[in-house]
Amino acid sequence: VDVGAKINRLQLISSGLQPGESVVLEGVQKLKNGMTIKPLPSTFEEIAKPSPAQHSGV
């Protein structure tokens, strides 16, 4: 994929995904080539909500 601008906690994927394809949002450092994963669906609202640090003003 081609990664674009970062907006708050979100990183824009500008190209490289086809409809129905997914990306890993968490745990990327644990992935190994050829590994089978079980995706857990997320909504944009879940992903876009501010982190706890943003709520506390830290």
Residues 4, 12 contacting (CB under 8 angstroms): yes
| Angle, CA 52 vertex, CA 10 and CA 32 arms, to 5° | 50
pLDDT in tens, 5-51: 988 778 889 999 999 888 888 888 999 999 998 888 888 788 777 76
Domain ranges across the chain: 1-17+38-58
Tokens coding 34: 């050829």
pTM of the model: 0.53
